[in-house]
Chain A
Amino acid sequence: MGLNSAQKEVERGILLTTVDKMSHWAQKSSVWPATFGLACCAIEMMSVTSSRYDLARFGSEAFRASPRQADLMIVAGRVSQKMAPVLRTIWEQMPEPKWVISMGACASSGGVFDNYAIIQGVDHVVPVDVYVPGCPPSPEALMFGILKLREKIQMGLPPKYQEVAMARGGAS
């Protein structure tokens, strides 16, 4: 009887989980975006980290100036043909696993800039995980996008570029 109650007492303080779940939880709780503002969407992206919206609640407020320290790229604005190789280089410099959010109409589809200078959707350049609609999306919308990305990470779904690589039959 005495042993049994002691055992119960110990079990109450133990949480059982898997290493995968644990690492996904850690990963989703500190998604650090790269500082990469391209246009007016960047203003909304900045305000999402400020006190009113406080992205720090979800551990993503630390915008890193170096892609080596970032695992999320928020493409905030239209991507010009001349900027595309720069964007691709920054994405390639980010350590894996890495995610991409396409923020706003311009990044997702070219938006109103249907002309020679603008890439018609950033998914022609980098694989995109979450698309956030809007022109520009409100900070709440971007935050919703980040929460969706967190869900995706927690579920253990691979980032889009790994998905693409697997679909092509190569090793991820």
Chain B
Amino acid sequence: MTNDVGIIERLKNHFAEGLETVTSIDQPTVIVPRGQLLAFAEHLKSVEGYVMFNDVLVVDWFPARPRFEVVYQVYQPETRQRFRFKSFVDESESMPTMTGVWAGANWPEREAFDLFGVVFDGHPDLTRIYLPDDWEGHPLRKDYPTGGNRID
């Protein structure tokens, strides 16, 4: 697996402002402003050919603001290259959904909502995927209690 070394240069030329390169040892990584995220994703899929969506990951930087770092992993199956882009969002804000671009984003985004409480605007069915429907809170947040329930 080789990395697409020129992609960050091309993306920076296309999106005049806002993209921030992140030093990374494994694959090209950029930070995208939340407002540009959808246009960026469309471009990545249709022009660069990253047609496969791998996962959404969330990092909770509590108590820093904005709190959540949302990480997207995508894959270009023809050249077998991977690409990562990130964006930041706070508790009170919401992310645009990627389901319109990659249908495979549906369940990973539900997982991110279930465990971190990140809201994805426009998601077709943003409900809990792992935990019971009546669960309170989002367990992977840093301010969620780590111990188990004490019933005795």
Residues of A within 8 A of B (CB): 81-82, 110, 113-120, 124
Contacts and interface: CB of A to CB of B under 8 A. Distances in A.
B132 A113 contact: no
B148 interface: yes
A117 B146 CA distance: 10
Given A116-B139, A117-B139, A110 B148 contact: yes
Interface string B112-152: 00000000000000000011100100010000111111110
A62 B61 CA distance: 52
B148 A113 contact: yes
A116 B132 contact: no
A125 to B, nearest CB: 10
Interface of B: 130-132, 135, 139, 144-151
10 contacts: A81-B132, A82-B130, A82-B131, A82-B132, A114-B148, A115-B146, A116-B146, A116-B149, A120-B151, A124-B151
B148 A116 contact: yes
Given A81-B131, A120-B149, 8 more contacts: A82-B131, A82-B132, A114-B147, A115-B146, A116-B144, A120-B148, A120-B150, A124-B151
Contacts of A113: 148
Listed from nearest, the 5 A-B pairs whose CB atoms lie closest are A116-B139, A120-B148, A114-B148, A124-B151, A82-B132
**Chain B contact residues, majority secondary structure:** loop
A117 to B, nearest CB: 7
Contacts of B149: 81, 116, 119-120
B144 to A, nearest CB: 7
B135 to A, nearest CB: 8
A21 to B, nearest CB: 38
A12 to B, nearest CB: 57
Nearest to B140: A116
Contacts of A110: 148
A119 B146 CA distance: 14
A116 B147 CA distance: 6
Nearest to A82: B132
Nearest to B145: A116
B148 A115 contact: yes
A82 B130 CA distance: 9
